[in-house]
Amino acid sequence: MTHRERYHSDPQIRIVNGVCPHDCPDTCAWQVAVDQSTGQAVGIWGHPDHPVTRGRLCGKVDRYLERTYHPDRLTQPLKRVGPKGSGQFAPISWGQAIQEIAQRLQQVAQEWGPEAILPFSYAGTMGLLQGEGMASRFFNRLGASRLARTICSEAGFEGYLYSLGAAIGQETESFAHARLILIWGSNTLTSNMHLWPFVQEARCQGARVIVIDPARTRTARAADEWIPIRPGTDGALALAMMHVIIQEGLQDQEYVAHYTLGFPQLAERVAEWTPQRAATITGIPPARIAQLAREYATTQPAAIRINYGIQRHQGGGMAVRNIACLPALVGAWRRYGGGIQLSTSGGFRHLDFRTLHRPELLQRSGLDHPPRTINMIRLGDALSLDPARRARALYHPRPVDPIPGPEEAGPPVKALIVYNSNPAAVAPDQSAVTAGLAREDLFTVVLEHFQTDTADYADYLLPATTQLEHWDILKPYGHYFLALNRPAIAPLGQSLPNSEIFRRLARALGFDDPAFRQDDVSILQEFVASQRHPDFATVRWEALLEQGFVRLNLPQPFRPFAEGGFPTPSGKCEFFSQRMADDGYDPLPTWTPPGHWRESSAQEDLLLISPPAHSFLNTTFANLERFRRREKEPRLWIHPEDAAARGIEDGSPVSVGNRRGQVLLTARVTEDITPGVVLAPTIWWRKFSPDGRNVNQVTAQTEADMGAAGTFYDVRVWVKPVREGTGSGASRQEALAITQGD
Ligand SMILES: Nc1nc2c(c(=O)[nH]1)N[C@H]1C(S)=C(S)[C@@H](COP(=O)(O)OP(=O)(O)OC[C@H]3O[C@@H](n4cnc5c(=O)[nH]c(N)nc54)[C@H](O)[C@@H]3O)O[C@H]1N2
Ligand SMILES: Nc1nc2c(c(=O)[nH]1)N[C@H]1C(S)=C(S)[C@@H](COP(=O)(O)OP(=O)(O)OC[C@H]3O[C@@H](n4cnc5c(=O)[nH]c(N)nc54)[C@H](O)[C@@H]3O)O[C@H]1N2
Ligand code: SF4
Ligand SMILES: [Mo]
């Protein structure tokens, strides 16, 4: 008898349906076993009936109970007692904390205007309620600055939209039917592991799996072939593939004629993109590019999985825009198993958020203009007292958007409210961020599970509940099942759901709107009931309660564009996009070089990428010893040629830096990384790193070509050996000492 079976037959045990809250495409449905005599959760596993979860959680969330019950969990409100940034706190009652915070926010709003208050959040939980649910109501009513949430996916998302109209992709289950699978800039086994069983099913039927990645990741190792590529050059590869396909007449003439726009212009454009030309850019031999194009065009169904790793650079939007044209060119959409998936979130694009977010509350804020929008990846600039830098943080995503000047910067940020995020560790240009967080005049409130690097800078640190302790609804970005999360246990200690914390703050600020009196369950019920679009005909509260998840009302099998129907302005896959021209872009696929390509530097002579470590989820789990042990230490993959040229040995400390900062890592000398490129798996907590920093010391606030998105993998660095004891190079002591200057 398995544990699970035992739990099911034990009358003492209650089984509660829920869903993983993390920022991961899989959004796994889970079941929690609760011992009714103690109220303790004693077991957790993937929901066996969910068609994508299929009964399995990943190696991180398998341990979600351990994380929830960890002795380091925050269980009471805390108020700062030491100097700013020291992480020294003393307990305070909820009543007092809420009252003092409300008072300070009121002061800031009176003196500087409500836009001096900035919410900062991302996807610590992807829950629609504990994410931006009650928070939106609160910040709308307040008239606070808005946050453009650009840290992850916006560049690729926009690029995909220009070509296809919505972030709709072939469904995950369909990959089992593919005969060729390109895994392109995605480390599937780490960041999207529930796709893999479908990939394996396809392989059992003879499918070939090719991984295109600068690194031989665990996914590349498990695939049939690894094609190493220079970071930021995928757009050029896609152009050359289109060149070969069109030159050899391998396109699907009929599909192209009926369901695409601008084929003649595309043919003319890609005529110049020979495999030879792309080879000099991508580092992939011309013959391999031509062969890949033929294989792709002649093997059906052909599936492409791109993920967000591919678009974290200054040409990221255009790269995705180009790749997204490929399936239409060869007619891959026709068959189940063919197409492309970047995200499935577009399947949920008709969700009506009005009852949840209450945009009309803004009218009660007293603000006579729409609040400014601050780009989250420019948090360093946003927290500056210099209006010129603050203006740079204003969100202006398209080339046609006017560049804001210092006179439009608005008030300095005087209060920062952080929830579901850990900016001191995850945001780029870390020294700029910490300089801002360290400002004595900045009032910072952090809602958290643990005392993160960001929490150290808080004036008030408020204990939040985890997914085991609160209600929520989640929409995934790697399949088409909406899920309900029911609390399995009572909140630990005095912790409260984000929703309740914002509710209490609202009341303390005198916001008497009924929106702040609604409890979590009624909010979710109302949200579900308010959906009118036919895509949500299957989404009923009772169904969610009973099963835990429901599939959108989509045809089964779902072949989204088998007969066109692209949600673009023309209704076709747009090889030529007027919307792009109107927004200030080249209307045809082109190669937008990454920043590191343009700004060559003799000193900063290596390219750094820093994708997710297997055992962390962004920064989540990275504070727990079990997961840190799995990752060993903050590391740098470096090719033997690059290591030898610098006198770097495997396992030795290296200093990685550039104009912005530096960080101490341990070299892993390996042929698993393309020469000229170094890779640092992350996101480590700074306080658990040897020098109290992480790799975001060297990343930049620069925006991508589209969506004003982050460019985490577009960084030039130098790498130097750190000598133990005396000798040339920096000593370990010196490397560590620099930290104090942060
Ligand atoms: N275990 C685990 N899972 C996660 C996360 C985590 O931290 N840990 N994070 C979650 C989040 S927030 C996200 S957004 C997703 C991210 O998941 P993915 O989109 O898979 O993102 P990355 O791991 O950033 O990048 C994937 C691969 O792209 C490669 N890559 C980098 N630059 C380029 C390039 O220019 N071209 C090509 N072809 N490849 C490139 C990297 O080497 C990496 O192997 O994963 C989610 N899942
Ligand atoms: N160098 C480098 N930097 C990166 C990336 C990279 O690949 N390389 N990836 C980028 C990407 S793709 C992303 S998405 C961002 C991720 O950035 P974040 O979203 O900030 O990262 P997470 O670690 O997922 O979540 C942050 C915090 O949310 C908290 N949290 C979770 N649930 C709740 C809740 O219910 N209530 C409250 N109050 N808190 C909660 C967790 O405890 C955690 O500390 O990082 C970006 N930064
Ligand atoms: S992190 Fe991803 S793979 Fe792991 S349980 Fe959550 S949704 Fe599933
Ligand atoms: Mo992300």
For 286, the 3-state DSSP assignment is helix
Q: State the pLDDT at residue 602.
A: 84
pLDDT exceeds cutoff 80 at 542: yes
Measure 603 CA to ligand 3 centroid, in angstroms. Answer: 40
What pLDDT is attached to residue 741? Answer: 32
Compute, in angstroms, the gap from residue 619 CA to the centroid of ligand 2: 6
CA of 133 to the centre of ligand 2 (A): 18
pLDDT tens per residue across span 103-138 = 999 999 999 999 999 999 999 999 999 999 999 999
Token pair for 200: 């394996």
Ligand 3 centroid – CA 62 distance (Å)? 9
Confidence (pLDDT) at 598 = 84
pLDDT digits (tens, 9 = 90+) for 268-298: 999 999 999 999 999 999 999 999 999 999 9
Identify whether 419 is part of a domain: yes
According to DSSP, the β-strands at 653-658 and 635-638 are unpaired
Whether 399 and 372 share a structural domain? yes
User: Could you tell me if 263 and 174 lie in one domain?
Assistant: yes
User: Total structural domains in the chain?
Assistant: 4
CA distance 303 to 199: 10
Ligand 3, CB within 6 Å, residue ranges: 20, 22, 24, 26-28, 57-58, 60-61, 193-194, 617
The number of residues making up the chain comes to 742
**Residue 574 included in any domain:** no
Residues 370 and 507 placed together within one structural domain of the fold? yes
Ligand nearest to the CA of 124: 2
- Residue 201 pLDDT exceeds 90: yes
Using the 3D structure, point to which of 68, 97, 119 is the last residue of a domain.
68
- Are 191 and 294 in the same domain? yes
Report the distance separating Cα 121 and Cα 300, nearest Å.
Answer: 42
CATH (domain of 33): 3.30.200.210
Q: Beta strands 635-638 and 661-669: pairing type?
A: parallel
Comparing 373-387, 398-412, 564-578, 714-728, the range with the smallest average pLDDT is: 714-728
Residues 304 and 223 in one domain: yes
Q: What confidence score (pLDDT) does residue 378 get? A: 98
Which residue, among 664, 654, 657, has the nearest Cα to 729 in the 3D structure?
654
Q: From 300, 258, 49, select the one nearest 174 (Cα to Cα).
A: 300
Residue 67: per-residue pLDDT? 98
User: Does 705 share its domain with 631?
Assistant: yes
Q: Flag whether the pTM goes above 0.95.
A: yes
Ligand 3 atom nearest the C-alpha of 64 is 5
The residue type found at 527 is F
Instruction: Kindly report the CATH number assigned to the domain that includes residue 196.
Output: 3.40.228.10
Distance 154 CA to ligand 1 centre (A): 14
pLDDT (0 to 100) of residue 310: 95
Residue with CA nearest ligand 2 atom 12:
152
Give domain status of residue 282, yes or no: yes
DSSP-H helix ranges across 35-91: 64-68
The band of 191, judged by pLDDT with boundaries at 50, 70 and 90, is very high
Distance in angstroms (rounded) separating the CA atoms of residues 582 and 579: 5
Average pLDDT over residues 230-243: 98
Contact of 240 with 278, CB cutoff 8 Å? yes
The verdict on whether omega for the bond into residue 523 sits within 30 degrees of 0, i.e. cis, is: no
Q: Which one of 23, 54, 60, 479 would you pick to mutate in the ligand 3 pocket, going by the greatest count of ligand atoms within 8 A of its CB? A: 60
Residue 740 confidence (pLDDT) above 50: no
On whether both 413 and 523 belong to a single domain, the answer is yes
What is the rounded CA–CA span in Å between residue 251 and residue 670?
Answer: 39
666 DSSP 8-state letter: E
User: Helix, strand or coil for residue 631?
Assistant: helix
Torsion sign across C-alpha atoms 137, 142, 146, 147: negative
> What CATH number is attached to the domain comprising 695?
2.40.40.20
Q: Is 719 helix (H, G, I), strand (E, B) or coil?
A: strand
The residue whose CA is least distant from atom 31 of ligand 1 is 309
Tokens describing residue 236 = 């050029």
Which of 26, 50, 68 is at the close of a domain?
A: 68
Instruction: Supply angle C-alpha 234, 123, 502, rounded to 5.
Output: 155
Backbone angles phi, psi at 607, to 5 degrees: -105, 130
CA of 124 to the centre of ligand 2 (A): 5
Scan for tokens 């791109």, then name that residue: 306
pLDDT given for residue 2 in this prediction: 78
The predicted pLDDT at position 725 comes to: 54
The residue out of 19, 37, 68 marking a domain boundary is: 68
As given in the structure block, the two tokens for residue 289 are 């590019």
**CA–CA dist 104, 97 (Å, integer):** 11
> Mean pLDDT for the chain?
96
Give tens-digit pLDDT for 685-709. 999 999 999 999 999 999 999 999 9
- Which residue's CA is the nearest one to ligand 3's atom 6? 20
* Span 148-165, pLDDT tens digits: 999 999 999 999 999 999
CA-to-CA separations, 77 to 94, 96, 416, 457, in angstroms, rounded: 6, 9, 17, 15
Phi then psi for residue 445, to 5 deg, are -120, 130
Q: How far is the CA of 87 from the centre of ligand 1 (A)?
A: 31
Asked which of 3-7, 551-555, 605-609, 659-663 is least confident by mean pLDDT, the reply is 3-7
- Give yes or no for residue 734 having a pLDDT over 80: no
Which CATH number does the domain housing residue 517 bear? 3.40.50.740
> Hey, which of 121, 199, 219, 308 would you mutate to test ligand 1's pocket, going by the most ligand atoms within 8 Å of its Cβ?
308
Tell whether the model's pLDDT for residue 507 goes beyond 60.
yes
Please tell me whether residues 266 and 285 are part of one structural domain. Answer: yes
Given the structure tokens 């969700």, which residue do they identify? 351
Q: What is the distance in A from the centroid of ligand 4 to the CA of 23?
A: 6
- 733 has pLDDT over 80: no
Q: State residue 599's pLDDT score.
A: 79
Q: What percent of the chain has pLDDT over 70?
A: 97
Dist. CA 174 → ligand 1 center (Å):
22
In this structure, which residue's CA is closest to atom 7 in ligand 2? 611
Residue 555 lies in a domain: no
* Tokens standing for residue 509: 């600020």
Taking CA atoms only, the protein residue closest to ligand 2 atom 3 is 426
Quick check: 185 pLDDT over 50? yes
Residues 92 and 168 in one domain: no
Give me the domain span that covers residue 627: 595-739
Of all residues in the chain, what percent carry a pLDDT higher than 90?
96
Nearest to 715 by CA among 670, 683, 677: 677
User: Could you identify the atom of ligand 1 that is nearest to the CA of residue 316?
Assistant: 35
Which residue lies with its CA nearest to atom 47 of ligand 2? 426
How far apart are the CA of 427 and the centre of ligand 2, in A? Answer: 9
> Whose C-alpha lies nearest to ligand 1, atom 37?
185
Q: Is residue 352 part of a domain?
A: no
Do the Cβ atoms of 519 and 527 come closer than 8 Å? Answer: no
- pLDDT at residue 724, as a whole number: 67
Atom of ligand 1 nearest to the CA of 60: 1
Residues with CB under 6 A from ligand 1: 23-24, 152, 184-187, 190-191, 212-215, 217, 229, 231-232, 234, 307-310, 609, 611-612, 614, 616-618, 713
Q: Are 225 and 293 in contact (CB under 8 A)?
A: no
Which among 284, 305, 146, 168 has a CA at the least distance from the CA of 223?
A: 305
Structure tokens given for 116: 């001096």
Q: What does the alpha-carbon distance between residue 289 and residue 236 come to, in Å, rounded to a whole number?
A: 11
Residue 569: inside a domain, yes or no? no
Mutation to probe ligand 1, out of 62, 126, 187 (largest number of atoms < 8 A from CB): 187
Instruction: Kindly report the protein residue whose alpha carbon is nearest to atom 3 of ligand 3.
Output: 58
Within 6 A (CB) of ligand 2 lie: 21, 23, 122-125, 130, 151-152, 419-422, 426, 447-450, 452, 464, 498, 610-612, 617-620, 682-683, 695-696, 699, 712
Same domain as 133, residue 160: no
Q: Which atom, in ligand 1's list, is nearest to the CA of 306?
A: 19
User: In angstroms, what is the span from residue 711 Cα to ligand 1's centroid?
Assistant: 13
Q: Does a structural domain hold residue 559?
A: no
Mean pLDDT of 36-43: 98
451 alpha carbon to ligand 2 midpoint, in Å? 14
Residue with CA at minimum distance from ligand 3 atom 5: 57
Show Cβ contacts of residue 711 under 8 Å, excluding neighbours closer than 6 positions. 312, 313, 314, 316, 428, 594, 595, 699, 700, 702, 703, 704
**C-alpha span between 585 and 443 (Å, rounded):** 40
Pocket test for ligand 1, best of 211, 307, 619 (most atoms within 8 A of CB): 307
Q: Give strand pairing partners of 225.
A: 210
Is residue 303's pLDDT more than 80?
yes
Backbone φ and ψ for 242, nearest 5 degrees, come out as: -65, -35
Report yes or no: 472 and 129 within 8 Å, Cβ to Cβ: yes
In a domain, 629, yes or no: yes
CA of 425 to the centre of ligand 2 (A): 9
Q: Nearest ligand to the C-alpha of residue 29?
A: 3
Looking at the structure, tell me whether residues 113 and 238 fall in a common domain. Answer: no
What's the CA gap between 219 and 235, in Å, rounded?
A: 21
pLDDT at 665 over 50: yes
**Residue for token pair 């152009």:** 239
User: Does the pLDDT value for residue 728 go beyond 90?
Assistant: no
Based on the fold, state whether residues 362 and 323 are members of the same structural domain: no
Q: Find, among 465, 393, 498, 422, the residue nearest to 131 by Cα.
A: 498
